[in-house]
Structure 1
Amino acid sequence: MSDKMLLPPKAVIFDWDNTLVDSWETIQAALNLTFDDFGKERWNLVETKTRVARSLRDSFPTLFGDDRWEEAKDRFYAHFKAIHLETLTPLTGAYDLLMALREQGAYLGVVSNKNGNFLRSEVAHLEWGHFFGRVVGATDAQNDKPAADPVHLAMGDSAAAQYENLWFVGDSVVDIQCARNVGATAILIGDEITGHGDATNSATLSPDWHFPDCEALVRLVKSFAKVL
């Protein structure tokens, strides 16, 4: 945890899955159906939270091999497409957090390692598109998180393009590393840092600020309005 005061942001980049919406069980279900297709052992929910962080194109070659990962990708996408909208659930306080930040004039964007088409369909399904300047998913930029490329794409031509007082809000070690790569304040949402299976990231990274849920961060954001 940083000992510096957390200042009102000019821009906030959000992760999506398990930062603004609850999707662990959906991801686990689609992965396990894909594992079944390839005769691999299923993951329980704890294993899923530990191992899932990077984008599919960065993780599936290791899981399924260089010769079969694209076939596995197609199977996973088919399974995921069949269930993801019907199980999509906003996390408590997420909508209020977006409203509070927008009311204070912050530029908002999304950077996720979820397939961009699935990501934008979920944003549209919740009717949250009006909150965000840009919604960037996996493969939309040259490289995926934790690279800086998707954040640069999400920031676009925003008034906060100088990246002053930029927050990156997420739940995983990959989100924290992405924040570091763009010089943003790394804010963790949730009880724990997920994606610890990504050993290259988990050894030394910790967030600047950690909030147990969106509601806790909403309270802080609303307190800014009292002093501005």
Structure 2
Amino acid sequence: MEKDVIVIKAVIFDFDGTLADTLPVCFVAFESVFRQFDNREVNSEEIKAMFGPSETGIIRENLNNNNYDEAIELYYEIYRDRHENLVQNNEDINTLLRRLKANGYKLGIVTGKARRSLDISLDYLGLNEFFDVIITGDDVEFPKPHPEGIYKALEFLDVLPNEAVFLGDSDADILAGKKANVLTVGVQWLPNYQTAEFNVQPDEVYRSINDFISSFSKRLSGVKVD
């Protein structure tokens, strides 16, 4: 009996730590918010532990001071003001997206970020042109590791789970991908990423963007199944 060939049609990405090295500006903005409104210092590991909801959700869930709206506005002010200095354009990422797009793949983002901060980053980095669907933390009821965001992206792109791959830098990303039954790729290819050792094992792990580019067509575009 001949084996069916499943062809990957869509590549869906997490954003922070996967497509852009934005974690430093996120940390600076959160540190400033907690310092100004709660008079407390939080470090990057404490901030990572809060990740899941959007930035607005993180502030509302973790800030002791109830001036949430002011704190949220401060977050976005710092995020925008410090973005250019703290987040560098990555030409390897641009090359990856251009090649995938040129080869006919549908591209998406599923991120816990709020739409407002994602738009700031996409504008600064010139990444708006690449994506067929973007699902943010504002668009879901349940953040990763729940697969809701990936389900929404698959539906919009009109692809089956076995026709998609999801790339992310955290256990929550990989777990969401596995729950959605898509191929999962863990990445540690930017200077700052969330997970040093994956507790949830991805199907593939890449520490180099160029390695992923060179192996994608061979290893992911023709997965044979019984």
The two structures have a TM-score, normalised by structure 2, of 0.78
Q: Give the CA deviation at 1:71.
A: 4.8
**Alignment size in residue pairs:** 214
Relative distance call for 1:35 and 1:94 in structure 2 (3 A) is same
Measure how far apart 1:178 and its partner are.
Answer: 1.4
Query: Cα distance, 1:62 vs. partner?
Result: 4.5
Q: Is the 8 A contact 2:162 2:181 kept in 1?
A: no
- Larger mean CA deviation between 139-148 and 83-92 belongs to 83-92
What does residue range 74-113 of structure 1 map to in structure 2 within 5 Å? 74-91=73-90, 93-113=92-112
List structure 1 runs of 4+ shifted beyond 6 angstroms: 224-227
* Distance in structure 1 (CA, Å) of the matches to 2:50 and 2:99: 30
Query: Per residue, is there more helix in 1 or in 2?
Result: 2
Q: 1:203 deviation in Å? A: 8.8
Q: Which runs of 5+ in 1 are unaligned?
A: 1-6, 197-201
The gaps in structure 2 that reach 5 residues or longer are 1-5
8 Å contact kept, 1:116–1:139? yes
Q: Distance in 2 between matches of 1:48 and 1:143?
A: 21
**C-alpha distance in 1 between matches for 2:88 and 2:46:** 18
Q: 1:180 corresponds to which residue?
A: 178
* Partners of 1:107 and 1:158 within 8 A in 2: yes
Q: How does 1:1-228 map to 2 (within 5 A)?
A: 9-38=8-37, 39-43=39-43, 45=44, 47=45, 50-51=48-49, 53-55=51-53, 56-65=55-64, 67=66, 71-91=70-90, 93-160=92-159, 162-190=160-188, 194=194, 204-223=199-218
Which AA in structure 1 matches 2:163?
Answer: N
Structure 2 vs 1, CA of residues 203 and 87 (structure 1 numbering), >3 Å: closer, same or farther? closer
Contact 1:110 1:136 in 2 (8 A): yes
The 2-side partners of 1:181 and 1:214 are apart by 25
Tell me the amino acid that sits aligned with residue 42 of structure 2: R
Question: TM-score if structure 1 supplies the norm length?
Answer: 0.78
Letter in 1 for 2:194: T
Alpha-carbon distance in structure 1 between the residues aligned to 2:83 and 2:115: 14
Please report the RMSD computed on the Cα atoms of aligned residues, expressed in angstroms: 3.2
What secondary structure sits across from 1:186 in the alignment? strand
SS at match of 2:175: helix
- 1:112 Cα offset (Å): 1.0
Secondary structure of the equivalent of 1:139? Answer: helix
Instruction: Report deviation, 1:81.
Output: 2.7
Tell whether the 8 Å contact from 1:20 to 1:94 is kept in structure 2 after alignment: yes
Task: Return the offset for 1:61.
Answer: 4.4
| Equivalent-residue separation in structure 2 for 1:9 and 1:203 (angstroms) | 24
CA deviation vs aligned residue, 1:84-109 (integer Å, no higher than 9, x gap)? 24533234521121122223321110
CA contact (8 A) 2:17 2:193 kept: no
Moved more, 121-130 or 134-143: 121-130
SS across alignment from 2:40: coil
Contact 2:174 2:184 in 1 (8 A): yes
**Equivalent residues of 1:12, 1:168 under 8 A apart:** yes
SS in structure 2 of the partner of residue 21 of structure 1: coil
Counterpart position of 1:3:
none
Given that 1:170 and 1:187 are in contact with CA atoms closer than 8 Å, whether structure 2 keeps it comes out as yes
CA 1:223–1:208: 2 relative to 1, 3 Å: closer
